[in-house]
Amino acid sequence: MHALSLRAASAVLALLFAVSASSQVQTEPTAATTAPPQAAVVDPLAEAIRERVDHLRYASEHDGTDHVVRGRRIVLTDIVARYYESQQFQPKWRDPARLDLLVAALADLEDDGLDPADYHIEALQSFRTDLRAAAALQPAEQADLEFLATDAMMLSLYHLYLGKVDPVQLSSQWNFSTRPVSVERGFERLSAALDSGQIRETFERARPQHVWYQRGREALRTYRAIAAAGGWSPISDGPTMKLGLDDPRVPVLRYRLTVTGDLAGDLQPPAPPLNLAFDAELEAAVKRFQERHGLTADGAVGPGTRAALNVPVSARIDQIRINLERARWVMHELHGEFVLVNVAGFDVSYFRDDEPIWTSKVIVGRPYRETPIFKSLITYVVLNPTWTIPPGILVKDKLPVIKRDPGYLKRNNIRVIDSAGREVNPHSVDWSRYSGSRLPPYQLRQDPGDDNALGLVKIMFPNPYLVYLHDTPSKSLFDKDERVFSSGCIRVEKAFELAELVLNDPVRWNRAALDAAIATKRTQTVNLARPVPVLILYWTAQPRPDGQVIFRNDVYGRDPATLAALNGTFRRP
């Protein structure tokens, strides 16, 4: 038996099918009576289902072939077989009304960015037609319907709750916890959901119960409607369009911005007489578009803004779908207070009650030194930190400089410390002896101060990547649109505000107290009274409360692999 597929699918069954007590059927005990023995009655449908179970088990364990019903492959063969064994091979899908509920729930998966075709919807619609045309299906046909419908429901709930794509296959850094398993309880809840007709409710509970996810589904509906209406036309190359200039491309620009709600007005394609003026209203709309796409909001349409405007609606739909999938990986756990870093968005936010209450720009790792995606707990803050140069940065960045100019260390307040903790004169070291294959037997530690690479505060959370949030002396880099300048750590523009939030002690550690501690120039560690979760994630599309969508470039090139897996054939782990 495929243990991993069983564990994953049963986790969904165990946790999703919450059914109200009113849906449970209660029976009164009856007095025991003695009846004469009777010959057992053979139920042809139960026998047909039992034969299908036997076939599934044999095919799965012996020849590895797929069980196919009306052209559709049963995916969760093990768990479906085990479910019908637990039900003594009794049918669940003889009522066309119940099948109607399932087909409607599967069709609704399109708003989740999933493809209803992955969940046998056309074959189920065919079965539904047959079921309505006849009083009952033949036992073999009904048994096929049982397996197809149950597989469709289990598989779709699996994907809503855990995601269709396995994030571990995309990144070895993924460390989000798996969810607990109770197979028997899951079977009970599935049966209760089917018996009570609570199929739509069960699907709804499987989705992340977070406002972000609901907004994402609404945004996907909006962009699919835009696509159905014809999308938008690209804006042709030419000089920068800006306030006060006439340009023949202005009517196309106006329509483009109206389609996505950045410019108020009627959705009418350009028609004579054409208004070629780039006015203040259009400039304000361009700024709104630029802000949503992480561009400098100068109101002018140059090459960068034009490139973002010309991304086709189909690509934007894919971005939303990709990030709804990412949401399914993590958003079941996103509640309460936490810090969320969006690497692709170059920002960090502090969340409370499902909404960000504070946001700051950040600088993340270069594409060849990516900031890893993981989660941890913020446990302490260091004021006036020292910086011990990590081995990777030492080899790649610092050793070449030191070999040319050992005086670089003194000028930058970097001390050389031996294994006994003693300071060593950098001019006494033969730096030419050391390289990536032979590291120097010293720590290089930068003193606290305004020029320290970590700035004046760092916010720490245990992780194997030597990554943390910190201040920086290089403030000018926050003015860039794409902020990929670090070696993996996360530089925070408003680091002191974040430190004050995570310390959450307005009496002892308000901003004035932090500034006073910094003024002493002494390194000081402040432990948090309550650790704060921190999630380092990667979002290239995010819905806003106003219905608009924030889009970001895929700076690490992670979207294509996620999209390919999302569009591909699902195979059990």
* C-alpha to C-alpha distance for 432 and 453, rounded to whole angstroms: 25
Pick from 176, 225, 75: nearest CA to 573 = 75
Instruction: Tell me if 59 sits within 8 A of 77, measured CB to CB.
Output: yes
Instruction: Tell me if 286 sits within 8 A of 254, measured CB to CB.
Output: no
Residue by residue, DSSP assigns 521-570 as T--EEEEEEEEEEEEEE--SEEE-TTS-EEE---TT--HHHHHHHHHS--
Q: What's the Rg (C-alpha) of the chain?
A: 30
Helical pair 199-206 and 183-196, crossing angle rounded to 10 deg: 140
Q: How far is CA 187 from each of CA 150, 279, 311, 503, 572, rounded to the nearest angstrom? A: 11, 63, 46, 45, 19
Instruction: Tell me if 372 sits within 8 A of 173, measured CB to CB.
Output: yes
Token pair recorded at residue 183: 């197979």
- Residue count (the chain): 573
Coil, strand, or helix at residue 88? coil
In sequence order, which residues have a C-beta less than 8 Å from that of residue 80 and are 6 or more positions away?
Answer: 56, 74, 147, 150, 151, 154
Element (H, E) at 186: helix 183-196
Residue by residue, DSSP assigns 295-352 as ----S-B-HHHHHHHTS-HHHHHHHHHHHHHHHHHHTTS--SSEEEEETTTTEEEEEE
Pick from 375, 371, 362, 379: nearest CA to 330 = 375
Q: How far is CA 463 from each of CA 101, 176, 458, rounded to the nearest angstrom? A: 46, 13, 14
Point out which residues pair with 484 in neighbouring strands: 364
Q: What positions carry a catalytic annotation?
A: 470, 489
CB count within 10 Å of CB 557 equals 10
Q: Position of tokens 């796409």?
A: 293
Q: How far is CA 252 from each of CA 236, 258, 282, 298, rounded to the nearest angstrom? A: 9, 10, 12, 20
